[in-house]
C-alpha cells in the first residue's frame, strides 16, 4: 500500500471518481493550470482536459449556481472553494437552493463543495475559519470533515457518489502533515459513520478533523497519569453518528466535546444537548466543551496558538472532569 499525505489522498479520490464516472467534473478558481491554491488538483487538467477541470472566475456564487444547474441536469460536479471562508459568498445558493430541491420536488442534487478550512497556518481571520456549523444546521445538506488520509480518500469518493449535496471540509493544517498507507483498490468510507480512533474507559473525547489528532496526543500523554481516554472521530458532522457517540459515553460516563470552531452554537452544543436528552442517567459529570473562544481567528501567531484548542487545554479539561 502506498504512503500518501492527506492532500494526496483527496487527489487520488477525485482522480479515481473521474476515471470511474464521466459525469464527474471539477470547477473552481485556479484549479486547472495552477493545480489549486494547495495543489490538490495538480495533474488533473493534463489527464482529463479543460472540459472536466474548469477554471472559473472569482465568484463563489457563480461557481455554486453553475454547479447546481449541472447537478440537476445529471452531472456530478465537484466545486472547490479556494478557502472555505469564502463559501459564505454562495450561502444563498447552497442553503436555499441545493439543500431544498429534494424536499420541494424530489430533485437529486449530486453536488460536492470542497476546500480547505481551519487554522494553524497563521492565515488570519479570512483564511482560517471553521464554518461547518452553519451548514450542519441546514436540512438537506451533508457535512463531512475527515481526520486521516484513509478517510479523506474514502469520504470524498462517497460524497461524489451521493445524490445529495455534500459540504466537504479539508483541514489545511493536515494537508501535508498527515501521512498514511492507503490501499490502491477502490473503497469508500460511508457517510454518517463515526469511528473509534482510540479505545478507552475513563472519558470519551468526541471530535473531528485536526482536533482528533490533538485528542489522540492528549490521550497518549495522559496515560502517564493513569487516565484512559476514548477518542471518537465523527467523520460526518451532519448527520452525525448518534449511536456511536452515545455508546461511547455510556461506556465511560464522562465526555469532552472538542472542536476548533468557536464555542457558542458550535457542533459541541448540539452534541451536548443530544447526550443530555438521550443518556442523562449515564453521565457521572457535566458535559464539557473544549473549543475556540467566540472571536475571529487572530493573525498573530502567538494569539492564534492561544485561540486554537491545544493538547494542554484538553489535558486540563480531562483532569478537571476526572476529578469531578
Query: Does residue 42 sit in the same domain as residue 135?
Result: yes
| Arithmetic mean of pLDDT over the chain | 97
Last residue of a domain, one of 150, 181, 212: 181
* 232 & 283 share domain: yes
Residues 220 and 141 reside in one and the same domain: no
Residue 302 lies in a domain: yes
Instruction: Examine residue 205 and state whether it is found in any structural domain, yes or no.
Output: yes
State pLDDT tens for residues 209-231: 999 999 999 999 999 999 999 99
**Contact call for residues 297 and 124 (beta carbons, < 8 A):** yes
Give the domain CATH number at 67: 3.40.50.970
The verdict on 104 and 251 lying in the same domain is no
Task: Write the pLDDT tens digit of every residue in 20-60.
Answer: 999 999 999 999 999 999 999 999 999 999 999 999 999 99
Residue 177's pLDDT is what?
A: 96
Which residues have C-beta within 8 Å of that of residue 169, sequence separation ≥ 6?
Answer: 84, 114, 115, 117, 118, 130, 132, 143, 144, 145, 209
Considering the domain architecture, whether residues 159 and 232 belong to the same structural domain is answered as: no
Cell numbers standing for residue 285: 459529570
In a domain, 94, yes or no: yes
Strands 236-238 and 142-144: antiparallel
pLDDT of residue 247: 98
**What SS3 string covers the chain?**
CCEEEHHHHHHHHHHHHHHHCCCEEEEECCCCCCCCCCCCCCCHHHHHCCCCEEECCCCHHHHHHHHHHHHHCCCEEEEECCCHHHHHHHHHHHHHHHCCHHHHHCCCCCCEEEEEECCCCCCCCCCCCCCHHHHHCCCCCEEECCCCHHHHHHHHHHHHHCCCCEEEEEEHHHCCCCEEECCCCCCCCCCCCCEEEECCCCEEEEECCCHHHHHHHHHHHHHHHCCCEEEEECCEEECCCHHHHHHHHHHHCCEEEEEEEECCCCHHHHHHHHHHHHHHHHCCCCCEEEEECCCCCCCCHHHHHHHCCCHHHHHHHHHHHHCC
Percent of the chain scored above 70 by pLDDT? 100
Are 23 and 75 contacting, i.e. CB atoms less than 8 angstroms apart? yes
pLDDT of residue 184: 87
Is there a single domain that holds both residue 21 and residue 85? yes
Query: Are 167 and 207 found together in one domain?
Result: no
pLDDT digit string, tens, across residues 239-296: 999 999 999 999 999 999 999 999 999 999 999 999 999 999 999 999 999 999 999 9
Range of the domain at 74: 3-181
Q: What grid cell was written down for 134?
A: 452553519
Q: 125 and 27, same structural domain?
A: yes
Q: Are residues 175 and 273 in the same domain?
A: no
User: Which entry of 127, 171, 213, 259 is annotated as an active-site residue?
Assistant: 127
For residue 313, being part of any structural domain is answered with yes
Q: What CATH number did the domain enclosing 231 receive?
A: 3.40.50.920
| 259 noted as active-site residue | no
Q: Give the residue carrying C-alpha cell 479543460.
A: 50
Let me know if residue 208 belongs to a domain: yes
Given a cut of 90, whether residue 1 has pLDDT beyond it is no
Same domain, 163 and 202: no
Residue ending a domain, among 130, 159, 181, is: 181
User: 213 and 158, same structural domain?
Assistant: no
Mean pLDDT on 132-137: 98
Domain boundary among 181, 209, 237: 181
Q: How many domains does the structure of the chain reveal?
A: 2
pTM for this model (two decimals): 0.97
Same domain, 111 and 135: yes
Amino acid at each position: 500500500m502506498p504512503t500518501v499525505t492527506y492532500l494526496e489522498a483527496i487527489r487520488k479520490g477525485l482522480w479515481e471518481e473521474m476515471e470511474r464516472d464521466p459525469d464527474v467534473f471539477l470547477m473552481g478558481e485556479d484549479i486547472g493550470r495552477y493545480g489549486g491554491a494547495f495543489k490538490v488538483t495538480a495533474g488533473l487538467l493534463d489527464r482529463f482536459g479543460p472540459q472536466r477541470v474548469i477554471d472559473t472566475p472569482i465568484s463563489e456564487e457563480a461557481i455554486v449556481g453553475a454547479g447546481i444547474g449541472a447537478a440537476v441536469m445529471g452531472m456530478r460536479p465537484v466545486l472547490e472553494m479556494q478557502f472555505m471562508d469564502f463559501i459564505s459568498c454562495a450561502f444563498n445558493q447552497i442553503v436555499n437552493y441545493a439543500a431544498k430541491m429534494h424536499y420541494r420536488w424530489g430533485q437529486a442534487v449530486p453536488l460536492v463543495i470542497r476546500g480547505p478550512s481551519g487554522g494553524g497556518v497563521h492565515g488570519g481571520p479570512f483564511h482560517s475559519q471553521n464554518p461547518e456549523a452553519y451548514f450542519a444546521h441546514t436540512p438537506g445538506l451533508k457535512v463531512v470533515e475527515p481526520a486521516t488520509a484513509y478517510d479523506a480518500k474514502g469520504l470524498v469518493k462517497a460524497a461524489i457518489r451521493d445524490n445529495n449535496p455534500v459540504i466537504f471540509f479539508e483541514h489545511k493544517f493536515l494537508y501535508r502533515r498527515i501521512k498514511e498507507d492507503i490501499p490502491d483498490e477502490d473503497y469508500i468510507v460511508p457517510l454518517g459513520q463515526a469511528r473509534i480512533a482510540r479505545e478507552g474507559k475513563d472519558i470519551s473525547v468526541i471530535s473531528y478533523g485536526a482536533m482528533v489528532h490533538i485528542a489522540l496526543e492528549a490521550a497518549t500523554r495522559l496515560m502517564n497519569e493513569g487516565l484512559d481516554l476514548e477518542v471518537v472521530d465523527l467523520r460526518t458532522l451532519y448527520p452525525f453518528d448518534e449511536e456511536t457517540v452515545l455508546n461511547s459515553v455510556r461506556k465511560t460516563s464522562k465526555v469532552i466535546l472538542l472542536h476548533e470552531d468557536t464555542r457558542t452554537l458550535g457542533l459541541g452544543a448540539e452534541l451536548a444537548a443530544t447526550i443530555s436528552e438521550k443518556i442523562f442517567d449515564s453521565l457521572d459529570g457535566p458535559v464539557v466543551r473544549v473549543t475556540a473562544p467566540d472571536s475571529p481567528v487572530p493573525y498573530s501567531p502567538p494569539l492564534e496558538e492561544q485561540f486554537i484548542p491545544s493538547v494542554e487545554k484538553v489535558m486540563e479539561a480531562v483532569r478537571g472532569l476526572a476529578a469531578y
